[in-house]
Structure 1
Amino acid sequence: MTLRFSDVCVDARDIHALSSWWSTVLGWPAEATDDGDVALRAPDGAGPDWLFLAVPDDKVVKNRIHFDFTPDDQQAEVERVLALGARRVDIGQGEQTWVVLADPEGNEFCILSAK
């Protein structure tokens, strides 16, 4: 038996707005699926596609899983993503080398220090 990691599924109240936001952040194209969802297609070698699924409820608790991104320039990337509508969040991380942000629907993600 073989499994292939093909999709990260993201629940969203507004799949079009949230997928468009992440498409801008990642620079990945968004496309509607036959099921009415929205997919962001990862470039070769960039990981799995992201699939945005409509849900009727708002996010209310801290994510149980989140994304970490490694930039070339952490400060520049944090500023760019904040300008696009992300916000800083405190999940109890204290002073760290990474920055915790949330997307427009409140999903936390981290921008790590540059490597």
Structure 2
Amino acid sequence: MPVEPAGNLPGLDFVRIEESKKSKSRLHLDFRPDDQDAEVARLEAHGAKRVDIGQGEQSLVVMADPEGNEFCVLGQRRQ
């Protein structure tokens, strides 16, 4: 597992496992990028899909990775 220099923390490492997803995700991540639209496009280019979980009109985008694990890409924090 790579170790990041202290200036780049926090960081996450993702490790692929051979087992398929059997139930709801055990971990849900929310990301708050500087540019939500650009990040959603980048994630879609890497295989993520937008998903509708009944969130309605929100400033967040709910997505799922190729294995179906949901996560959110949040908009800019309101001051």
TM-score (normalised: structure 1): 0.53
Cα offset, 1:106, TM superposition: 1.2
The separation in 2 between residues aligned to 1:99 and 1:82, in whole angstroms, is: 12
- Distance in 1 between the 2:41 and 2:49 partners? 10
**Counterpart code for 2:64:** A
Q: Residues of 2 paired with 1:82 and 1:51: CA distance?
A: 17
Question: Deviation of residue 52 (structure 1)?
Answer: 2.1
RCO higher in 1 or 2 (8 Å CA, sep ≥ 6)? 2
List 4+ stretches of structure 1 deviating above 6 A: none
C-alpha displacement at 1:59, in angstroms? Answer: 1.4
Match of 1:65 among 9, 14, 27: 27
Matched, 1:50 2:13: yes
Over aligned residues, Cα RMSD in angstroms?
A: 2.3
- TM-score w.r.t. structure 2 length? 0.73
Match of 2:70 in 1: 108
Q: Return the structure number with greater strand share.
A: 1
Identity fraction in percent? 51
Structure 1, unaligned stretches of length 5 or more? 1-38
